[in-house]
């Protein structure tokens, strides 16, 4: 059994923000596959269970995402090496994706929470959103930057990026992380 978790923040205020890219990717994946989200108050997340995988979107704020992921992994007895976390990354150029297994959080508070709950051995699908230094010459705080909406030019590119992530998730579910890393990195 595999678990794919998209990271984001709840509420309309954050819906189109860079920090909600993990939610956007999973919402698109679920929609394309004809899945409907259900809510679990016990797990504090929205989820879809199909065959041998579970998709989740924690309903907590980003810095508590690991709590929901841990609860779902425990319930379904999913090993941490069968978890893939999908999230935004300011250390990658906009639109670039990178799959990895293991590693530090690089200051991403959602990943800090996942590491706190699971340890470091889980898969990551990092999606580049660039950094405020690249976009605005360092004049903007990182928190403000990731919580801001995409620019109109970036929004035009999002469907292609989200589709690329959907293909990577499909590959992960069908073939596993190592094969997917070889294809997409």
Which is catalytic among the residues 14, 17, 18, 19? 19
Annotated active-site residue 19? The verdict is yes
Is 66 in contact with 15 (CB distance < 8 Å)?
no
For the annotated catalytic residues, the residue numbers are: 19
């Amino acid at each position: 059994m595999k678990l794919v978790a998209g990271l984001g923040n709840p509420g309309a205020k954050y819906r189109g923000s860079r920090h909600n890219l993990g939610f956007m990717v999973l919402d698109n994946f679920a929609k394309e596959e004809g899945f409907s989200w259900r809510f679990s108050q016990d797990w504090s997340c929205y989820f879809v269970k199909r065959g041998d995988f579970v998709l989740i979107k924690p309903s907590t704020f980003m810095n508590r995402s690991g709590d929901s992921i841990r609860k779902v992994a425990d319930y379904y007895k999913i090993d941490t090496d069968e978890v893939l976390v999908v999230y935004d990354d300011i250390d990658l150029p906009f639109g670039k994706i990178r799959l990895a297994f293991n590693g530090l959080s690089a200051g991403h508070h959602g990943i800090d929470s996942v590491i706190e709950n699971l340890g470091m051995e889980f898969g990551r699908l990092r999606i580049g959103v660039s950094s405020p230094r690249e976009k605005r010459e360092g004049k903007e705080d990182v928190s403000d930057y990731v919580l801001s909406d995409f620019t109109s030019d970036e929004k035009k590119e999002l469907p292609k990026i989200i589709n690329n992530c959907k293909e990577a998730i499909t590959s992960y579910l069908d073939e596993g992380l190592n094969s997917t890393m070889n294809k997409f990195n």
